Structure 1
């Protein structure tokens, strides 16, 4: 029987034209002979212009806190333009949700010709990036067969789902649904710890008993002083935070920014910039507390009523003398008073500036010290996070309107969707996200001492790995060369499935590479971070081109081949899952008066009109009936739980301990510069790195202070080599006073681009970062790295 062939229509719709153009643009050196080129007729142009246009309010589901209201102009199945919230549509009950530069650039990202188009399997060695096209049936069969084979041979704990942040802003995602499928199929090795702010989350409960310690930003309207400690919302969050901060700035709030780098936030908000050496934050905090206490500026009544461990009279039982905060600061334990002069030698912050900062923070009522997530991404990050809680406690800024108890995030009154139901995971062992390389290389290395929970040993190493919408494997992972070495050995991890929009550095290490859909091509609900107060429908706007499929779509095929389709899908399409999640959320939060799904499709977003929320307000107002969730029921300046661990890197008092690869490390004689990274305004982590529009917004360079540049004979525009014992990166240098001497900085998230010698040409700092885990959280310390910078002499 002959196969019938449908003639190709002569009429070319706009959507088909863009799809064809995308395919041609992906091929090198394709051109059309001039003799065969024909101009588009005016009738065709008029017909295209006459097509009706829809303007749809939607949002992305990338790992971005704003969830800005973008207005997609859709005509004939194509998004032709991205606009944002017009003034007349703004609801005064909430912060403005206008799209940032990332939001305005989504169309170029979605319609870029380099997007993956077909399912492919690896040929050649892992990491070479060589693939051949296969069918979806073959792809899903490969997944099902390998799941069955590897599980039968090694057990369900051999299966792992890696971090996939590019979809973490939505209620429904492939990484959530693959976990659902694996749980239905026997379980998988789960992980814990947030790469973003896990060290803060682990440390804060040792002061307050909980990690949920942030207030809502609308409580800061009358705050007279805000100290942004390593917090850079102008480049990382946009939207809500800046709405409140700019409003406060206009009303006279004084802003002080403590940061090694003169960030865009410092440029737009700061009345004062205080630069310090990275990883020395606790020395500055210790000296501030010394000034506050010795000058009698602390809130005695607050300390006496609510705290434990301030002085010798308030210490818990079973602790020897001179372990209190007062004893530490005065030097009774180690013979060193923590004076501003002591801290100046460590931090490079002048002693008079330390005194001024301490006095101003202690005497301005109320004041908010808001710490960002950058400082806690050091191997001293837990101490730094907890240090800010001690300063807030000493000054009585906990549980009061206008004060701030702890680091940024963790706001207690904001609501989020329920997400898809998750069956129980039969595998009880868990690893830190920082343990996965060891778990694949040698599972015996992963023990309870360095991150394993739920067991004494791992039942198996990682043999099958899913990385859906994540570029962590071979880009964001610290000590990148160590991770890549393990990935290249396919006798360790035997099967790697990657689903993404682009051929990222991580995608090159896939055995099976699948073309994912963008947020414009699937259904979801966008969830704001803690500072937001709304959820927004992210509706499917256009059909995916080529053979792109959403993760949920192909996972249904895998489930079918495993005999689990009905249990996995519950008979729901992607849109029906979104409607179901929304209905479950409505039932869980009747007080919010959420509309039904049909109404949501019309109004697009729903506001949570919550009252302003002050963290620990009830604990301070009525401590008898609302004690803190600590063992003592009080704010624990001194933590007996930490004391009993007897670990020098996690002291019971969160004080300064020199960091590994910090400025006092002997390694600094060989590598005298501290390298830090920042999250830039033109991408979320590494997402949208491939967007050419956003590459124009900010180029990848290394910032270096003029004093350090002069010592090395460098001028702006020179190509430099940044190196340490772990790797080497080559990039252009920018000489600027916006970085403190002794420190260099690059934007995080650049794609790793190794040349034939293995030298990174993309400006990826992770070839230089350390895989050392933090002592308490078993978390990441990407930011702690010593390097040297030299001029690259071209041959």
Structure 2
């Protein structure tokens, strides 16, 4: 459609009342309103800009989006209206995403360290020089032991390329970031129903119990889920009850905010379950048919979890628990949501399991408006594939011998394994990671590790910017930003599965190369003629060629054009069109596209059953694998667990002396807190994510500092008011920051946001605005147009590294602190962490592992367990 000509007369008509304008200038209104998404015009020339679909990667939600290009430059980002999950919307972070590409402090060519580690002295080198040195170091490490090559990533959206690279080298020594993210949530869920995430059907529900999730701004999938929360509120008059230490934006949006003592969500959930079972409000048929326990077993197990018991632990009144239990159980449909709040504690997996039980008890599973399984799609890996490594590393991202149930690893404990000699490293790779800033202990632990050239002899950073970790690197290989590279995507962030791509919107700036190409070039440097058997696994011309090997032969997608379809649309399948009036995806008749429910009740076909056997317990087995379960005379696919049931009782936990049934364990050091001690919690702003947003001015201008939230009652006791300096001291260190006095936090807790307080990451993040650009960056006149002089104070240095002995999660929200008025020698921004005290705290945490001396004390109900010395199974490896 041609852009309509705008005259003074048509402008005046459009400026009139909406009804009159629609009648007078329909073509103009259609251009302005009905085609939101997919078209954009230069405000100067009125020329239509080039629109290219992609998948966002500012955070891990992977929203579908469209980039607009004018004269070779990205000028605007917005949501992709054909994406069924995010439906044409981007959050603030996504809209600001182009400023990652145009960050004036990007590293645009390879760098080599020339000063001491962390000194900040670099020289420019060529790619040939960089690849040659990296290959030489790898070659030497391979001769000693491939597992002395370690790669740790923060976000891996490469679609398998990082693991392929390490397996090509024969190394099993890979580390993810999940233990500082949500591993205990995952481990709390996986053995019960298979996947490691859920998809609450907020748009169709009538009641939500939200435990510690800030879903409207900071939780996983906040863009797609927050849209559905809004729909549920409007369409169904949905009620939301939020249990949280802090009055988050989600808690503020809720009908009820119930401040709960940190780490006690699980106790409240168990007490709600107690009332449901005591008063026969449960869905007995669902429990007896689809779980591995009976209603009678649950009633007996839940007897001791009374509302009065939970009130003493959590502070939530027993009468409130009674009322909420009846409301939740009698309102259909209803659902539950959690994220880091319950999980990031010692025994966070127990908390997650207790919360997850509520929709199971009430039968609100896989129903419209209920607690649904995630819907995702996969893609094939290019052939041939490298074999798995010949031997396991001591600890990798699927396994740690002291945490055999932590299937997503315990990566935040890696420095201590290296310090104490259990893991040896010759070459260390980092990718999209910054543990010197984002992990517990921060620079006191991780900075100490990377500075030690005996422990980390050679350090390679594949990075776009010099952050707190990359500052210690020996070689920096400049990666592309997400708007310059190819990557496959599929996220279970809605009830409609999809495949998507990230594709280059513009050519990579400077000498940067996309991740796959960097890894390929390293392998080709190691094995130029293929004689070492490595090169065969990296047989692709460029990133697009690699993507074709992923996508061009997927059934259904192949029929519509494979990668070429995705390049044009950004996502597959296209379920329908966005209705701009409702914001929902609709079919050709204008009706909303319906999701599919009760996936576990899909019946197996005759061909599925051919050659299958049915065991006495109903399990249907074919070719040695469980494919379904017989229930009530029908052959269903069941849940994606080994026994095809919901495992309320997790027998594998019992093997290591952990309670296999839903339970709660209080944080021991919370029980012995003194009157002047508080619990430190952390949180995220909706415009920041991990450390990567610090260089984006649009976002930094919105939020750039992070005062400590403290309750008025507590603040009065120590004599502080908003803006006063306070000293926050834990057993491993201290910091000095400003107080923000608010009733929006529990009286026994304080909260400090992450995302602020950088000492690296470029001129904007550090407010060193008068320095010159380096490493290929450009002078940005807008960079000095900064009105703020406070970059905040980062809290992680005073948080010890403690892991949930079941799920492996970092216990972010368990740290006991003492808050006092700042002394005469305290200055805003002072931080200190004592490494020896961090080491002591780490060792204390290990006492709760299944081999630790405090394990039996915490689990007297498991006294019959023989103990680790008799256990034959010392862990599993995925």
* Residues 748-767 of structure 1 mapped to structure 2, 5 A cutoff: 748-750=754-756, 752-753=758-759, 762-767=792-797
Q: Paired residue for 1:351?
A: 318
Contact 1:162–1:468 (CA under 8 A) maintained in structure 2? yes
Q: 1:298 to 1:441 in 2, by over 3 A?
A: closer
Q: What SS does the aligned partner of 1:465 have?
A: strand
Query: What is the distance in 2 between the residues matched to 1:380 and 1:515?
Result: 40
* Residues 609-648 of structure 1 mapped to structure 2, 5 A cutoff: 609=575, 611-614=595-598, 616-618=600-602, 622=631, 625-626=635-636, 634-646=645-657
Q: 1:778 to 1:556 in 2, by over 3 A?
A: same
Unaligned runs of 5+ in 1: 1-45, 315-324, 332-337, 447-457, 755-759
Unaligned runs of 5+ in 2: 1-41, 398-408, 576-593, 603-627, 761-789, 826-878
Q: 1:632 to 1:741 in 2, by over 3 A?
A: same
* Residues 504-523 of structure 1 mapped to structure 2, 5 A cutoff: 504-523=467-486
Q: 1:700 to 1:533 in 2, by over 3 A?
A: farther
Contact 1:228–1:372 (CA under 8 A) maintained in structure 2? no
Query: What is the distance in 1 between the residues matched to 2:503 and 2:755?
Result: 28
* Equivalent in 791, 801, 815 of residue 771 of structure 1: 801
Greater Cα offset, 631-640 or 568-577: 631-640
Q: Paired residue for 1:453?
A: none
Query: What is the distance in 1 between the residues matched to 2:103 and 2:721?
Result: 35
Q: Paired residue for 1:745?
A: 751
Q: Paired residue for 1:559?
A: 523
Contact 2:53–2:65 (CA under 8 A) maintained in structure 1? yes
Deviation at 1:761, TM superposition (A): 7.7
Number of equivalences: 686
Q: Paired residue for 2:689?
A: 684
> Is 2:351 the partner of 1:384?
yes
Q: Paired residue for 1:16?
A: none
Deviation at 1:441, TM superposition (A): 5.3
* Equivalent in 55, 59, 66 of residue 55 of structure 2: 59
Q: Paired residue for 1:25?
A: none
> Is 2:166 the partner of 1:182?
yes
Q: Output one character per residue of 1:200-244: Cα deviation in whole Å (capped at 9) or x when no partner.
A: 222324434x23563573xx5442212222222211334321222
Q: 1:794 to 1:560 in 2, by over 3 A?
A: same
What is the TM-score when the length of structure 2 is the normalising length? 0.72
What is the TM-score when the length of structure 1 is the normalising length? 0.79
Q: What SS does the aligned partner of 1:689 have?
A: helix
Query: What is the distance in 1 between the residues matched to 2:697 and 2:242?
Result: 32
Q: Paired residue for 1:544?
A: 508
Deviation at 1:93, TM superposition (A): 5.9
Q: 1:114 to 1:690 in 2, by over 3 A?
A: same
Contact 2:463–2:477 (CA under 8 A) maintained in structure 1? yes
Contact 1:207–1:389 (CA under 8 A) maintained in structure 2? no
Contact 2:557–2:572 (CA under 8 A) maintained in structure 1? no
Contact 1:721–1:729 (CA under 8 A) maintained in structure 2? yes
Q: What SS does the aligned partner of 2:353 have?
A: helix
> Is 2:725 the partner of 1:719?
yes
Contact 1:437–1:483 (CA under 8 A) maintained in structure 2? no
* Residues 218-257 of structure 1 mapped to structure 2, 5 A cutoff: 220-236=202-218, 237-251=221-235, 252-257=237-242
Q: Output one character per residue of 1:131-150: Cα deviation in whole Å (capped at 9) or x when no partner.
A: 22222222111100100112
* Residues 59-458 of structure 1 mapped to structure 2, 5 A cutoff: 59-75=55-71, 77-79=72-74, 81-85=75-79, 90-91=81-82, 95-152=86-143, 154-165=144-155, 168=157, 171=159, 176-191=160-175, 194-195=178-179, 196-208=181-193, 210-211=194-195, 214-215=198-199, 217=201, 220-236=202-218, 237-251=221-235, 252-268=237-253, 270-309=254-293, 314=297, 325-331=298-304, 338-404=305-371, 411=374, 413-418=375-380, 422-430=385-393, 431-433=395-397, 435=410, 442=417
Q: Paired residue for 1:479?
A: 441
Deviation at 1:284, TM superposition (A): 0.9
> Is 2:563 the partner of 1:597?
yes
Contact 1:387–1:655 (CA under 8 A) maintained in structure 2? yes
Deviation at 1:266, TM superposition (A): 2.5
Note the aligned Cα RMSD (angstroms).
3.3
Q: What SS does the aligned partner of 1:184 have?
A: helix
Q: What SS does the aligned partner of 1:234 have?
A: coil
Contact 2:705–2:791 (CA under 8 A) maintained in structure 1? no
Query: What is the distance in 1 between the residues matched to 2:639 and 2:222?
Result: 33
Q: What SS does the aligned partner of 1:707 have?
A: helix
Q: Paired residue for 2:464?
A: 501
Q: What SS does the aligned partner of 2:740 have?
A: strand
Q: 1:638 to 1:713 in 2, by over 3 A?
A: same
Contact 1:398–1:404 (CA under 8 A) maintained in structure 2? yes
Query: What is the distance in 2 between the residues matched to 1:72 and 1:129?
Result: 36
Deviation at 1:50, TM superposition (A): 9.6
Q: Output one character per residue of 1:61-85: Cα deviation in whole Å (capped at 9) or x when no partner.
A: 343214141432331x222x21424
Deviation at 1:616, TM superposition (A): 3.8
Deviation at 1:155, TM superposition (A): 0.3
Deviation at 1:746, TM superposition (A): 2.3
Query: What is the distance in 2 between the residues matched to 1:770 and 1:561?
Result: 41
Query: What is the distance in 1 between the residues matched to 2:569 and 2:184?
Result: 38
Greater Cα offset, 482-491 or 184-193: 184-193
Q: 1:729 to 1:691 in 2, by over 3 A?
A: farther
Query: What is the distance in 1 between the residues matched to 2:732 and 2:49?
Result: 53
Contact 2:188–2:807 (CA under 8 A) maintained in structure 1? yes
Contact 1:199–1:381 (CA under 8 A) maintained in structure 2? yes
Q: 1:614 to 1:463 in 2, by over 3 A?
A: farther
Query: What is the distance in 2 between the residues matched to 1:142 and 1:660?
Result: 49
Deviation at 1:752, TM superposition (A): 4.5
